[in-house]
Structure 1
Amino acid sequence: MNEEEEKKVLQTLTLRAQGGDADAARILFNEKSKRVRPVRFHECQTLDELKHEFECYMGQPDITKAESEHAAKAFDRLFKLITTRDEQKKKADKDLAQISGLLLVPITDPISWAAMAETSQRTLRDFARQ
């Protein structure tokens, strides 16, 4: 069914419901309750934004049961995604902080340590004299 046919059916049902037809009113009510306004939760990046958008959506005066269920499911899904993302970021930052304090020491033969130290001291003295 295309949009024009759907509009005609809805107009007919509305007129019949206004005329007192209980069946038409029930069908119209059921169809209206199935329609869901889009939620804009996917644009939220933080939990505070998600909470604000959810409260605004649920605070609409003419919200239907289908819309509230749809919003609750979308909220739950995005809440889990955001909290998981934040936890992974905190873990990565913590791991980076632990790793950043490490000092890498080149592995060399202990026998050549004396020769390397002498070379290093000579280079340092030459640099200081310049």
Structure 2
Amino acid sequence: MMDPDIIDDLLARLASECPGLVTINEAWFAEPIDDFDAQTPAALAYLAEDAGEALETLRPTQRVTLTYGIWLVCERADFRAQRQALRSALMGHVFSEHHDPVAYRGGQTTDIRGALIWWREFWTVDTWLHG
């Protein structure tokens, strides 16, 4: 069975399409941001949810929706430009012939500290699990 997770491809896409980001990493394995001046703007991505449809459990393939969370940490002055770069890089992108285009699910400000904004948004991509 092929693992449908595309986190490595997602990080590579952000690295190639978002040159303004200083730090791009998988959130689970990222070092803490200690020097905000040197390490931001930052995008830290993670697989947030892997949801299948129970109605198709008897088939050898089953549709699954992968949801990725991306933390965007940057100064207020950079926020709109960095968020737009991230969205331009992902909206409708097709990572493989096995994955549907990426779709925006939503976002929200989770914290504002001084000049820094902590924004988190979610992206989904549908694919298939093969038994």
Q: When the two structures are superposed, what TM-score results if normalisation uses the length of structure 1?
A: 0.28
Tell me which of the two structures has the higher relative contact order, counting C-alpha pairs closer than 8 angstroms and 6 or more residues apart.
2
Q: When the two structures are superposed, what TM-score results if normalisation uses the length of structure 2?
A: 0.28
Tell me which protein shows more helix as a share of its residues. 1
